[in-house]
Amino acid sequence: MTEATASSTRPDGEGFSLAAIPLWAQFAAIIVAGVLLSLVWDGATRWPKAWEIPAAQWITDFINWLKSEATIFGVEFKDITRSIGAALKAPVKWAEYLLYRGFKGIGLGPLPWVAVAAGVVIFAHWVGGVRLAIFCALTMIYLATFNLWKDSMKTMTIVIVAVPMATVLGIALGIWVTRSKTASRIISPMFDLMQATPHMAYLAPVAALFAFGPVTALIATVIFAMPPMARCTILGLQTVSPDIIEAGQMSGCTKRQLLWKVALPSSKRTLMLGLNQVVMQTLAMVVIASIAGATGLGHKLLYSLQQLRLGVAIEQGIAISLIAIVLDRLTQAYAYKETDHFAAGKTWVQRHKHLLLFIVVLVVSYIAAEFFRWVKIPPSKFVMGTGDAKTVLFDAKLLARHMDQAIRDFNVVAFDYINPIRDWVTIWILLPVRDFFLWLPWPVFVGVIGLAAWRLGGKPVLLLCLALMFSFILTGFWVETMKTTYLVLIAAALCVIIGVPLGVWAARSERVANIIMPICDTLQTFPSFIYLIPAIMLFRIGDFANIFAILPYATVPAIRYTYLGLKRIPPVTIEAGIANGATKWQRLFKVELPVALPEIMLGLNQTIMMALAMTAITALIGSTDLGQEVVRSISTQDFGRGILAGFFIAALGIIADRLIGSWAAERKRQLGVA
């Protein structure tokens, strides 16, 4: 029970109890008081400019001082960052030499694309069987035939360097947190903040110190992708069976041996799921890092979107999506790969036949590449015949031009149907809601959130929420914060309206679940950048397009958590409803949904988090909120403003997380399932 609800009046009538006042009256009093205050003091609507804390300028000045004047033990800070950058650039360069540049000094070219494609297919067959191998083969063929192979390899250079670094760092931090209470108190809240911070917000501070280019992309990617690995390490080590630990101790293991030979191997499956998340987060970040100078598919896609070359953008978006799905399926298949318990009875060749096959393909492809250029580099177009008798069988550039024309023709035809809907929703729904949030006096917002925080989580949640909300106000980010809040709340509401019924439908029908849940898995696999393509194609730019881009990305948690919440209801609860004569719909609305509500609210929490993350991405197609401040700071090098904007996006997520999490925890205690 929270402090607010614990208070009570004394029998003699002395004292005052806030809990004695109806909750609606408390909220009404706050709203009325805030509105009245705004009528007599303009500062209640807009915090006076003269009273703002120039925190953004202080951060920018500090970064400039670090880059130009700061020294550590007599060594200039900029020399330290240059040394770190040079050290990190080396593995990226080697990956580039291996995948697409080649080793010109020794006359050795890059890995032939045929060898790389075959290697992926062979690995897929080893971990997942024939179906996964066929899917990987089709993906490799797509990248080659659509002239996207080199750009794909540029993207993969960062991935293959960042994934091991983020994995090792995450495991190390996870072990440290499980071994030290002090580290847990310090690092765990940092993980909460890092995972609430949108992708793009990492680019501003890193670019400020390391300039634009692949090193910035690598560092930002490692920082962003590391927390899931650390969290999975913590979860894996904390859930190791005590019997296994005791068996290791009985065998005379030291603490180090107990960790490396008992605990970590027992957590292999959880660690591999963490690796899967690292890979997916890495690819998502590498695509977005094109804004900070990273090359590859993300850079090409961003350029295509800016030029409204949607045909090319679709080809590139499909390529990114296919790579994401391949990496996801490969890591998942490896995580769940069964151990071959009969390997000891096989010969070395039998145990490593896939590796030997790849070595043979690699050697043969290197030799064939000297005679056939198409073995080394995929052709830009496929032709049949020679001389004047050549016939073009397939040309990706020509197909992209046809797609561009088809999209333009579609927009011309659909304009009369789509544009009125977009305009009506924008004028009569979006703009009034946005104007309401911009009009809203900050004491009302702070008071309502503060009261909710106190009633739900007590003093700790109240103090945290107040500190975060006043940071928006005092630093001059109130307007941008309200624009972000309006956009996210509308998107989250639509996600719930769409997602909860779909989750209920899937929970009621296995056939529907077999369709919806794989779609959810696929939507979560796509990097968030991809969702801008249909938004621009259909609605160009504006808040309507922004919300449309958020929906497919953020609706998935609403579906998934509703489905899981309903599936986890104890059978005895369902039987009790049936025994009391409840109809199918009565059982749903009066028994199942109320019991599953904590899970559904946690889904809403994740929906809000993902919608906030997308606001930084949708800034690329015209939003004017905190996300736009993050994007603008990268191009204008006003890094202090970008860092604060990214922090405030995370702060909104933390406020929502604490409020919803506190309510869900209390509700679970009431249901006796905490």
For range 9-31, the mean pLDDT: 70
Residue 26's identity, in one-letter code, is: Q
**pLDDT level of residue 11 (50, 70, 90 thresholds):** very low
Query: What are 485-501's pLDDT values in tens digits?
Result: 999 999 999 999 999 99
Rounded Cα distance, 606 and 646, in Å = 18
For range 509-524, the mean pLDDT: 89
Q: Can you point out the beta strands (E) in 169-232?
A: none
The proportion of the chain whose per-residue pLDDT surpasses 70, expressed as a percent, equals 93
DSSP state of 589: I
Rounded Cα distance, 420 and 422, in Å = 5
Query: What are 651-663's pLDDT values in tens digits?
Result: 999 999 999 988 8
Query: What are 232-251's pLDDT values in tens digits?
Result: 898 888 888 888 888 888 88
Task: Provide the whole-model pTM.
Answer: 0.84
Overall residue count recorded for the chain in this entry? 674
Distances (CA, A) of 667 to 448, 539, 577, 591, 662: 21, 41, 20, 14, 9
Most confident of 307-316, 335-344, 391-400, 443-452: 443-452
Upper half-sphere CA count for residue 250 (Cβ side, 13 Å): 6
Give phi and psi for 71, each to the nearest 5. -135, 150
| Lowest-confidence region among 81-90, 186-195, 415-424, 556-565 | 186-195
392: which strand partners? 383
Give phi and psi for 382, each to the nearest 5. -110, 125
Query: What are 75-118's pLDDT values in tens digits?
Result: 888 888 888 888 888 898 998 888 888 887 777 788 899 999 99
pLDDT for the residue numbered 341: 58
Give phi and psi for 287, each to the nearest 5. -65, -45
Rounded Cα distance, 288 and 299, in Å = 8
| Sequence ranges of the domains in the chain | 27-49+52-56+440-671, 75-110+146-337
Q: Can you point out the beta strands (E) in 352-409?
A: 381-384, 391-395
pLDDT for the residue numbered 6: 42
**pLDDT level of residue 386 (50, 70, 90 thresholds):** low
**pLDDT level of residue 4 (50, 70, 90 thresholds):** very low
Mean pLDDT of the chain: 85
Q: Which residue has 């927390």 as its token pair?
A: 227
**Which stretches of 568-625 are DSSP H helices?**
571-579, 584-587, 593-618
CATH code of the domain made up of 75-110+146-337 = 1.10.3720.10
Topology, domain 27-49+52-56+440-671:
MetI-like fold (1.10.3720)
Rounded Cα distance, 139 and 143, in Å = 6
On the question of a common fold for 27-49+52-56+440-671 and 75-110+146-337, the answer reads: yes
Residue pair 33/443 in contact (Cβ under 8 Å)? The answer is yes
For residue 443, give the 3-state DSSP assignment. helix
Which of 191, 669, 665, 605 lies closest to 457 in space, CA to CA? Answer: 665
Q: What is the helix (H) or strand (E) element at residue 469, kind and residue range?
A: helix 442-474
